[in-house]
Amino acid sequence: MAIDRKRVIQSLSKIQVVGNDQGLIPAFGVLVNQLPTKFWNGFGERLTRGVGPDTLEAAEWLLINAAHECGYHTGHGIITSEEWKSVVAPMVENTEDVLHGAFAVFTAWGWAKSEIVELVPNEKMVVRAYDYYEQDVVSYGASAKPSAYMIRGVCAAFMDLAYGGKYDPTGKTGMRTFTCQQTKGIECGDEYGEFVVTRAA
Amino acid sequence: MPVMEETQLILDHKFDPQTCRHMVNGELMVMHCHHFITLYTQLAEDCGMLDGKKLMAEVAEDTFNEMLNKYYREHEVTDVTDRITIAEQYYSAIGLGQMKVLCAGADGGEVELVHSHVDEGWLKKWGKHETSVNYVTSGYIAGLFSAVFGQPTRHFNAVETQSIVCGAKSSRFQVVAN
Question: Which CATH number goes with the domain that contains A100?
Answer: 3.30.1380.20
Contact call for residues B148 and B117 (beta carbons, < 8 A) = no
Segment A43-62 mean pLDDT: 93
Judge: A62–B93 Cβ closer than 8 Å, yes or no. no
Query: Which of A11, A12, A39, A152 is the best substitution to test chain B (most B C-beta atoms within 10 A)?
Result: A39
* Domains in chain A, number: 1
**Helix ranges (DSSP H) in B4-161:** 34-46, 52-74, 80-93, 117-126, 135-148
**What are the φ and ψ backbone dihedral angles of A152, each rounded to 5 degrees?**
-55, -45
pLDDT of residue B2 exceeding 70, the answer is no
Residue whose C-alpha is closest to residue B146's, from B158, B132, B134, B135: B158
Give the ipTM of the model, two decimals please: 0.96
Which pTM does this prediction carry? 0.95
**Helix ranges (DSSP H) in chain A:** 5-12, 37-50, 56-79, 82-87, 95-108, 149-163
At residue B155, the 3 state secondary structure works out as coil
Q: How many CB atoms lie within 10 A of CB B61?
A: 28
Listed in sequence order, the residues at least 6 apart from A168 whose beta carbon sits closer than 8 Å to its beta carbon are A174, A175
Q: How many CB pairs under 8 A join A and B?
A: 176
Give the separation between CA A197 and CA A156, rounded to whole angstroms.
6
How distant is the Cα of B35 from the closest Cα of chain A, in angstroms? 5
Residue range(s) defining the domain that contains residue A130 = 5-13+22-199
Give the separation between CA A131 and CA A69, rounded to whole angstroms.
23
Q: In order of start, what are the domains of chain B with their CATH numbers?
A: 13-177 (3.30.1380.20)
pLDDT of residue A192 exceeding 70, the answer is yes
How distant is the Cα of B100 from the closest Cα of chain A, in angstroms? 11
Q: What's the whole-number average pLDDT of chain A?
A: 94
Choose among A28, A59, A133: nearest Cβ to B28.
A133
With residue A197 as reference, give the H or E element that holds it: strand A193-199
The confidence band for B25, taking pLDDT boundaries of 50, 70 and 90, is: very high
The torsion of the CA quartet A147, A152, A154, A160, rounded to 10 degrees, works out to -170
